Amino acid sequence: MDIVRPTLVLDKEVCLRNIKRMADKAKAKNLFFRPHFKTHQSAEIGEWFRDVGVTAITVSSVHMANYFAQHGWKDITIALPVNPLEINDINSLANKINLNLLVENRDTMIQLDKFIKSPVGIFIEIDTGYNRTGIMASKTNQIDAILKICSQNPNLQFKGFLTHAGHTYKTKTKHEIFNIHFDALLKMRGLKSRYRKDWPDLIVSLGDTPSASICENFDGVDELRPGNFVFYDLMQHKLGSCSFEDIAIRLVCPVIAKHGSRNEVTIYGGAIHISKDSIVNIDGKNLYGKIVVREGKEKILLDEKNYLCDMSQEHGILKITFRDFHRFNVGDLVEIIPVHSCLTVNLMGNYHTTEGEQLSTIRKADF
Amino acid sequence: MDIVRPTLVLDKEVCLRNIKRMADKAKAKNLFFRPHFKTHQSAEIGEWFRDVGVTAITVSSVHMANYFAQHGWKDITIALPVNPLEINDINSLANKINLNLLVENRDTMIQLDKFIKSPVGIFIEIDTGYNRTGIMASKTNQIDAILKICSQNPNLQFKGFLTHAGHTYKTKTKHEIFNIHFDALLKMRGLKSRYRKDWPDLIVSLGDTPSASICENFDGVDELRPGNFVFYDLMQHKLGSCSFEDIAIRLVCPVIAKHGSRNEVTIYGGAIHISKDSIVNIDGKNLYGKIVVREGKEKILLDEKNYLCDMSQEHGILKITFRDFHRFNVGDLVEIIPVHSCLTVNLMGNYHTTEGEQLSTIRKADF
């Protein structure tokens, strides 16, 4: 197809390779692979996971769980602490599939105890240092309070401990990622040995994309839940989780203006296409995307002095060196590698693949 | 309706008041009012503008022009420099409605000259200092090159000069906004007097929301094009364009966790609902939203020490003072006033009004 406006293009081959690599790694480490689907949000891409044997998934909302349940997924963990206000939707979903919920406080557990009508699995969220949500591994009294309710209500089946070591995203070296991961392992293993007397089948679930991509030691872990690896992005590249060749998506945008006097090229493609997540560039400024230019059939990744430096709603501003300025002309298409693929995909709502397929996401689903 | 997940709520009364105030101001200043519809992106809200006599609008993409054309708008300016790759869509639209295009370089004009098939209006974009797109007012040779093509092709009807003084968004005092606006006025008036010998009907179009809200001097201006004023937001409040009472939208979010040890409350509502635009808070940190709590029928706007301080895809983190912490409980709803209403609306895709209506936007339109 002819691209004439900002369009999300997925390199299917790269994506399939990312999926297979992570599935193989989980298998080699004897881990149950429950990939997070919040990055791709697409029923079709879900099928590519089924092709490598995936049967259970993670999602980030009840809404997303409903979408994938409608597309045949029967075993879903919602990895956002339960929102008690959604109890009706939770009950309706739990009646149809094997649903696991995430709990991190007794107040929510009391609500679930009162209103849950079908069996659900309960994961207790452990905060291993990210400090977003979860119970500190040392606060066993809080864990005990939740487990007490589980032990009294047969619809609330304790499954195990789940953590998202999202503080790996704030690291500057791979060594820090190893440290965070090892610290999380120790905390989760400590809980496992403390509680498995009473709950012999409890599992330990973890797997942020940086740790899942880089680390090799998963002793004591039972389940791996990475999500972003399906596409990766500039943030992951910066962390060392992937190479440029592993980044599977690009936003293809038309060039609409050139301003040589300030070394800028304007593209049609802005905050409502790419999102405002940024990393710090070598010049200390915000970088919102890197640039690939097309010359004939060749694609050239420009160096870090050329980058998407600003955006408004529909405009993107590329800072371009004098040396590379000649590569840009009004009416050209350029490719932007996004900083945070999850947010770009969420904004765009559908993909074109390099194989010519059109894939949709939950954003375009009508339910 | 019962709100159970992140929901965009529009105060219709406030919105209607904002619309009427700006329409009245345009009338009082003898300006043609061509509001920008990129903030609300909604056919229904478009009708509220029709009710105050609006007949012509501004949009930010061909896609958005198509949407509003399908909803009966017959006079539309696309205020993004023409993307030559969309020429087929432009021709098809120009065949149906009065379409104005924005041009800021000769390369694009040559493409239009070759491929345009129906009459369109041409606005030349002038860069009055925002340095995003547009021709500097002093570069009359570039303007002349575009006008020469207009004078030779009857389908390319020169309409006038258009500017967006978006650098008002970077100001710290109202005084700076007055200065920027006055500077833009002088530049635009200079062009008007230079070119009106040859183009007696040429118009001058401007109107970023800060200038349109604050300034009183519009001498020499013919058309006013603000957009954000329909809802306003925290950014506009910070600039002095509006009071808190003028902000018409809020994202209502459930509380899902409390972490007293670090003065944090977690809401279900994150980057895919609110967007990552921020302003700097009094403590020097990023603020992504302010907080209104509900106590019975009362609504309390918390001070700036309480704010949305971080987000991931679905989680929002509220920093809450010890004094106000007791106001939050899991299962409560809180209201977030967004920093940038355009991006929040674009993400959410529909509204609930305080009058109980459900309004859709282009995001949910299927075309």
Residues of chain B short of pLDDT 50, as ranges, are 367
Instruction: Indicate the class that CATH gives domain A244-339.
Output: mainly beta
**Structure confidence at residue B249 (pLDDT):** 98
Contacts of B5 in chain A (CB under 8 A): 61-63, 83, 85-86
Considering CB atoms only, which of B85, B254, B277 is closest to A254? B85
Contacts of A61 in chain B (CB under 8 A): 5, 268, 314
Q: What confidence tier does A367 reach under pLDDT thresholds 50, 70, 90? A: very low
* B40, B83, B110, best to mutate vs chain A, most A CBs in 10 Å: B83
CB distance from B1 to chain A under 8 Å?
no
CB distance from A317 to chain B under 8 Å?
yes
Other residues' Cβ atoms within 10 Å of the Cβ of residue A253: 28
Q: What confidence tier does A233 reach under pLDDT thresholds 50, 70, 90? A: very high
Q: Which residue on chain B is closest to A102 by alpha carbon?
A: B256
CB distance from A284 to chain B under 8 Å?
no
Burial of B10 (0-12, 13-18, 19+ CB in 10 A): buried
Give the H/E segment covering residue B50.
Answer: helix B43-50
Contacts of B343 in chain A (CB under 8 A): 271-272, 276, 313
**Residue B163 gets which letter from DSSP?**
-
Residues whose CB falls within 8 Å of the CB of residue A17, separated by 6 or more in sequence, listed in order: A246
Q: What confidence tier does A364 reach under pLDDT thresholds 50, 70, 90? A: low
pLDDT digits (tens, 9 = 90+) for A246-258: 999 999 999 999 9
CB distance from A331 to chain B under 8 Å?
yes
CA distances from B46 to A8, A230, A320, B13 (A): 29, 40, 39, 15
**Structure confidence at residue B363 (pLDDT):** 78
**Structure confidence at residue A106 (pLDDT):** 97
How far does B81 lie from chain A, in Å, by closest CA? 6
Tell me if A86 and B275 make a contact (CB, 8 A cut-off): no
Residues whose CB falls within 8 Å of the CB of residue A6, separated by 6 or more in sequence, listed in order: A251, A252, A253, A254, A268, A269, A273, A348
Tell me which residue of B264, B228, B251, B271 sits closest to B333, measured CA to CA.
B251
**Would you state the CATH architecture of domain A12-232?**
Alpha-Beta Barrel (3.20)
User: In this structure, are residues A39 and A212 in contact, taking their beta carbons and an 8 Å threshold?
Assistant: no
**Structure confidence at residue A297 (pLDDT):** 87
Give the H/E segment covering residue A107.
Answer: helix A106-115
In chain B, residues 166-205 whose CB comes closer than 8 Å to chain A: 166
CB distance from B342 to chain A under 8 Å?
yes
**Structure confidence at residue B300 (pLDDT):** 97
pLDDT digits (tens, 9 = 90+) for A194-204: 999 999 999 99
Q: Indicate if the alpha-carbon torsion angle A83, A89, A90, A93 is positive or negative.
A: negative
User: In this structure, are residues B128 and B165 in contact, taking their beta carbons and an 8 Å threshold?
Assistant: yes
Q: Is the pLDDT of residue A27 over 50?
A: yes
**Structure confidence at residue A311 (pLDDT):** 96
- CATH superfamily for B12-231 is Alanine racemase (3.20.20.10)
User: What is the average pLDDT across A61-78?
Assistant: 98
**Structure confidence at residue B296 (pLDDT):** 86
Considering CB atoms only, which of A84, A254, A347 is closest to B83? A254
Q: Is it true that A12-232 and A244-339 share their CATH fold?
A: no
Spans of all domains in chain B: 12-231, 244-339
Q: Is the pLDDT of residue A318 over 90?
A: yes
